[in-house]
Amino acid sequence: MFIIGDTLVSLDVLEKEFCCDLDKCRGCCCIEGDAGCPVTDDELKLIEAMLPQLLPHMTPEAREVVKQQGLSYLDPSGEQVLSIVNGKDCIFARTDHNGWCYCLIEKMNKNSQFSILHSQFTKPLSCHLYPVRLTQVGGRVGVEYHRWDICHCARVLGKKQHIPLYKFLREPLIRRFGKEWYNELCLVAEEWKKQMKNDQMTK
């Protein structure tokens, strides 16, 4: 782990290679799993404000879930997560004519269908950051890599194109921690690579 500001960054974030391969996975992370994505109170307030515009574009099943249960619930660990349909699909997941899943919030935002007030909210941060997950480690925020079988094609493509996880997630990491933090992360990654290269040369 590396200490950067008030965070503890896993070595995997620097070393693992990753790049979403939507041609193969078709965005299935939106409709797989057994719980919704973690969401903060502030994010829920934003989504609630956008809900009148979102509802007409949601599936009938998703609208019914929101009506009966609301936008979120507490998972078994006590974490607040977005509601899901049929025990797996995100309420904001939609499928296009090619069978690709997409985030309704993100798509409507890109199409400028929200007010300027909400135009910077692309989707919940936990989705934007995946496969990085944030945890609490003592008094610090843990920045950790989460391995999921359905992302195998992303690991293959990342390795093929030599894209480190922290570079693939540049935008969401800056969104969460700021550009100064991200620049420091890049410096730490470069120093780590140099150290590993030197260690190999001295063996």
Would you place residue 115 in the very low, low, confident or very high pLDDT band (cuts 50, 70, 90)? low
142, 10 contact by CB (below 8 A): yes
Using an 8 Å Cβ cutoff, are 43 and 121 in contact? yes
User: Range of 14's domain?
Assistant: 1-18+131-203
For residue 108, count CB atoms less than 10 angstroms from its CB and return exposed for 0-12, middle for 13-18, buried for 19 or more.
Answer: middle
- The residue out of 71, 94, 122 marking a domain boundary is 122
Asked whether residue 113 carries a pLDDT value surpassing 60, the answer given is yes
> What are residue 34's phi and psi, to 5 degrees?
-125, 15
* Among 28, 36, 2, residue whose Cα is nearest residue 148: 28
Tally of structural domains, the chain? 2
For residues 48 and 115, state if they share a domain: yes
* 3-state secondary structure at position 133: strand
Pick from 64, 99, 122: which residue ends a domain?
A: 122
Q: Tell me: the pLDDT tens digits for 50-100?
A: 899 899 999 999 999 999 999 999 988 889 999 999 888 999 999 888 888
At 53, list the tokens.
Answer: 């515009």
pLDDT of the residue at 19: 96
Judge if 68 and 106 occupy the same domain: yes
Element (H, E) at 197: helix 179-201
Beta strands in the chain (DSSP E): 2-4, 7-9, 72-74, 80-82, 84-85, 89-90, 93-95, 101-103, 132-137, 140-145
Same domain, 31 and 112: yes
Average pLDDT score, the chain: 89
Give the pair of three-digit tokens for residue 54.
Answer: 């979102």
Query: Which of residues 30 and 132 earns the better pLDDT score?
Result: 132
Does residue 80 share a domain with residue 34?
yes
Tell me the β-bridge partners of 85: 89
pLDDT at residue 116, as a whole number = 47
